[in-house]
Amino acid sequence: MNEATHSEIPAMKETPTIAVQTVGMTTKVVRGSLWTFGGQGVVLIASLIATPFTIRLLGPEAYGLLALVNVLLGYLAFADLGMGLASTQLGSEAHALGDNLREATITWTALFAGLISSTAVAVALLISSKFLVEQVLRLPAHLHDIATVGLRLLALAFVARSASGVLNTPQLVRLRMDLNTVINSGANTLQIILVPIVFFLQGGLTGVIAAIAAIAVVAALINFAVSIRLQPLLLTTRIDLSLIRPLVRLGSTVIAGYLSGLLVANSEKLILPRLTSVTTLAHYSVAFTLASLLLPVPIALGGSLIPAFSRLKVSTDEAPLRQLYATALRGSLFWVVPAAFVICVAARPFITVWAGSEYGRESTLPSYILVVGMVFSVMAYVPSSYLLALRKAHLIAACSLVELVPYVLCAVVLIRRFGAAGAAVAWSIRVIIDAVLLFGLAKRMSRLTFSPLPKNRLSYASAVIAVLAGFTAISLNKLSGVTTVIVAVMSLIMYGGLLWMRVLTREERAWLSQALRSPLNFIFGSSH
């Protein structure tokens, strides 16, 4: 399983060889994930509060345009050539060996390469934005000017975001997710809150993007200041041109995986307005937003797993890596089922209150379908993070490319027939297939044969049936709000009870008991 992790990287002088520290890695990953999840929770709350105002201020057509612009911006996240993740992975390996000089040099060199590429991409977008709006997206004529200006202004924030993605390397390799979360989640929260405020104050899209760009610059500066405290060697600029090739090679595979995945994942959003309408895209976007409430936890977990896996794979002892992989899979499986249940139960009333009766009527069914796919997407984050740590991003990209043509054809057929619900079905089918492929690749690339299903499968199946029965009872009967809550709570209690008594191991119950007895000490404990 282990590779020669430094074979491509020019060696620094006096490189120390230190045993990799693996004690308490699972606890560090969980603590870091909780910090990241907490930060995402703050961002989510801000989004839940701000989005209804944004929807009502813009209307369905303009809100659909905003969703479309955000999708297009996602395609340009490759602007840094993957230097953020490349710096984190190689920096984690250097940190695991105690080589701070190598880590600092990797960070500065990745920053240099990332800034050059992100600036070039930003300039290209500035020049081509009008063509994209008019010829590629073919938006209605009355939306051309505002969409063009929006793309041009958002391009300016790329450079600052690219810098932040590299400058936080010392935080990530040390699993100091507390610091990283406070900085980046704080910036994201401020950005979300400012959107409806600027629109309300007649600032328009120009004012919104100007504020976003300013926040990105400030976040980059704060990341740099905090990282210097953790890694004082960053005070002296060290750029090693011989490191650019291995960094770009690693980053390019990550970007290939990201772009192919993004192309596949958002294809239905590009197809919807062409085959139906921008309004249908708005309905689908609201459903997707609700189903995506399942993603903050695996995203938070992945942010800690990648540097943790990168550090552990340097060691010749595979036991800690196996334990972390197994624990991450089991934990993901155990929480995602009840979370999906809660989202489905709350979908219709929540969407109706949050976005309006039109969305409650049109977005509920797509949200149910998308939640099924999201469950598999959550589970796939663990093998995906493991493959990234092994520098196998090209395999993830290959999966996405293989899926692209069949997925687009399937999406076109289903969208023509069923609209937003058809798009949800196509997306969920693709995600399920993708998860199966990623688990197979992770198993093939190593001797990790751990199954996400617990040994006591019958007991866990009974726990899952408890929540499925609860959802069936709620969805097939017109229950009052109070009765719905009672049924939902009873289903969750049955799931949790069966999980605790029949599924969790003795060690898992002891670990959870200790964490729950002193949650603040667990969360705010030492992260060094």
Is residue 218 domain-resident?
Answer: yes
Is the per-residue pLDDT at 378 higher than 70?
yes
Closest CA to 300 of 528, 526, 39, 46: 39
Percent of the chain at pLDDT > 90 equals: 21
CA distance 251 to 333: 30
Mean predicted confidence (pLDDT) in 167-171? 92
Is residue 239 domain-resident?
Answer: yes
* pLDDT bucket at 9, cuts 50 / 70 / 90: very low
Q: Is the dihedral of CA 276, 277, 280, 286 positive or negative?
A: positive
Chain segment 474-501, per-residue pLDDT in tens: 887 777 778 888 988 999 999 989 888 8
- Comparing 15-29, 136-150, 339-353, the range with the smallest average pLDDT is 15-29
Q: Give residue 147's domain range.
A: 76-265
3-state DSSP call for residue 236? coil
Is the per-residue pLDDT at 149 higher than 80?
no
- Comparing 97-106, 145-154, 184-193, the range with the smallest average pLDDT is 145-154
Is residue 110 domain-resident?
Answer: yes
Chain segment 338-367, per-residue pLDDT in tens: 999 999 998 988 898 888 888 888 899 999
* pLDDT bucket at 473, cuts 50 / 70 / 90: confident
CA distance 144 to 107: 40
Is residue 502 domain-resident?
Answer: no
**Tokens 């093939």 sit at which residue?**
444
Residue 411 parent element (H or E)? helix 393-418
CA distance 509 to 495: 15
Looking at the structure of the chain, the number of domains it has is 1
* pLDDT bucket at 71, cuts 50 / 70 / 90: low
Is residue 170 domain-resident?
Answer: yes
Cβ partners under 8 Å of residue 450, min gap 6: 322, 325, 326, 329
CA distance 334 to 251: 33
Percent of the chain at pLDDT > 70 equals: 86
CA distance 99 to 97: 6
**Tokens 């009967």 sit at which residue?**
477
The secondary structure of residue 455, as a DSSP letter, is S
The secondary structure of residue 501, as a DSSP letter, is I
- Comparing 46-60, 178-192, 269-283, the range with the smallest average pLDDT is 46-60
Length of the chain: 528
Chain segment 265-308, per-residue pLDDT in tens: 778 888 888 888 888 888 998 999 899 889 888 888 888 888 88
Mean predicted confidence (pLDDT) in 197-212? 74
Closest CA to 388 of 474, 274, 302, 466: 302
Predicted confidence at residue 2, as pLDDT, reads 37
Predicted confidence at residue 15, as pLDDT, reads 38
Q: Is 82 left (phi over 0), alpha (psi -120 to 50) or beta?
A: left
Whether the Cβ atoms of residue 327 and residue 110 lie closer than 8 Å to each other: no
Is residue 241 domain-resident?
Answer: yes
Is residue 445 domain-resident?
Answer: no
Is residue 310 domain-resident?
Answer: no
